[in-house]
Structure 1
Amino acid sequence: MSSHRLFRFPKPQWLNNANARTFGVYTAGALFSLGFYILIDAAAYSRSPLNGSDPAVHITFVDWIPGICSALGMLVINSIDKSRLSADSFSYSGNGVAWKARLVLFLGFALMAGGLAGAVTVLVLKYVVPEYVWPTLWMGTANVVANGCVMLSSVVLWVAQNMEDEYTYNLAL
């Protein structure tokens, strides 16, 4: 067993398949789309005549802020080159590339966690405390579900991007 591995158990061989990587990327895209579809559906329902003649609450920009934060966090996390996270061990890396990449990665995760926490806060303060019933409560719940889908899609995309297919060659000089 090599000394540079983090975990004791080896990675399964099916993860080295190009089809598994493609499936992961498409799954991440589907989760991201599903999350924002749910949020747009709740926003459309809040302005719909099905919601009543004069609904007590509508989706406003405050409801969209957690989703925007989660989407920005996903963008930041998945735009980092994964080889830069351990770049200080290489001689070509420059001055402190790894800690800068880790800092940006932390900021991306903080944006996503803040988005999910903001969605829960909006749900509790705007929908649960005033004791709205289910059709109206769905608008706050949809925000939490949408942010959860964006976070899950980011995790799936991170894992899919770190897969190595059988046609990838790692050359080290």
Structure 2
Amino acid sequence: MALPRSNYDPRRVCLNPFPDLHLDKYKRTVGVYIAGALFAIANWTFLDAAVYSAHARVPWGDEPPVHVTFVDWVPGICSLLGYLVVNLIDKDRIKGDEGFGDSRAVWRARLFLFIGFALMAGGLAGSVTILVLKYALNDYAEMFKYYGYANVTQNILLMLSAIVLWMAQSTNGEYEYNLTL
């Protein structure tokens, strides 16, 4: 499917433009709060598993067979870095709006956006890998598999939080005015 010549812009990367959401007055604020709640729940879930692991006692009296180690922290750190990169990018620069004179600035912004999402996807893939290799294949009790479930949950919720925050910040705010002459 080709675009009509009148709608073609050689600076565009994607055929489909970013969604332009026009929400009510307070929906932007609600979206930011929802993203913050998802972010807090994500990190709280993993920290709960880390604290639970540090103080775990098994009923049969031996030492617990597995603990949360630095390897379990790495996917969350990658996702947090990706989250920061994605949300520090100026949304207008990615769209190519606002008359940015340097076309390389748009390209660099899109590259950083890709790197941010790649970090979050790598964090999610790493957490699933740790869940499978460290916890699921070793036939531990269900109380120890919780550490892996919490790791995957953290990364999924961080990705959801980034998406919700992106959508909430790309809407027109309650104090923004679009004046056109």
C-alpha distance in 2, partners of 1:89/1:22? Answer: 24
Kept in 1: contact 2:26–2:174 (CA 8 A): no
Equivalent residue, structure 2, for 1:85: 94
Alignment root-mean-square deviation, CA: 2.5
> How many Å apart are 1:168 and its aligned residue?
1.2
C-alpha distance in 2, partners of 1:166/1:86? Answer: 21
Question: 1:125 and 2:139 equivalent?
Answer: no
> How many Å apart are 1:95 and its aligned residue?
4.3
Equivalent residue, structure 1, for 2:75: 66
Q: Are residues 78 and 172 of structure 1, via their aligned partners in 2, closer, same or farther at CA, if it must alter by over 3 Å? A: farther
Equivalent residue, structure 2, for 1:30: 37
C-alpha distance in 2, partners of 1:142/1:102? Answer: 31
Q: Are residues 3 and 20 of structure 1, via their aligned partners in 2, closer, same or farther at CA, if it must alter by over 3 Å? A: farther
Question: Cα deviation per residue 1:24-81 (whole Å; 9 max; x = unaligned)?
Answer: 0011011001001000000111112444541000000110000011011010001000
> How many Å apart are 1:145 and its aligned residue?
0.4
Farther off after superposition, 41-50 or 99-108: 41-50
Equivalent residue, structure 2, for 1:107: 115
SS in 2 for 1:45: helix
Q: What amino acid maps onto 2:171 in structure 1?
A: M
**Structure 1, unaligned runs of 5 or more:** none
C-alpha distance in 1, partners of 2:56/2:104? Answer: 57
Structure with more of its chain in helix, by fraction: 1
Question: 1:149 and 2:173 equivalent?
Answer: no
Moved over 2 A (4+): 2-7, 49-53, 86-90, 170-173
Q: Are residues 71 and 140 of structure 1, via their aligned partners in 2, closer, same or farther at CA, if it must alter by over 3 Å? A: same
C-alpha distance in 2, partners of 1:25/1:141? Answer: 26
C-alpha distance in 1, partners of 2:127/2:32? Answer: 25
Equivalent residue, structure 1, for 2:175: 167
C-alpha distance in 1, partners of 2:110/2:83? Answer: 15
**Structure 2, unaligned runs of 5 or more:** 1-5, 9-14
C-alpha distance in 1, partners of 2:161/2:20? Answer: 21
TM (norm. structure 1) is: 0.86
Question: 1:43 and 2:50 equivalent?
Answer: yes
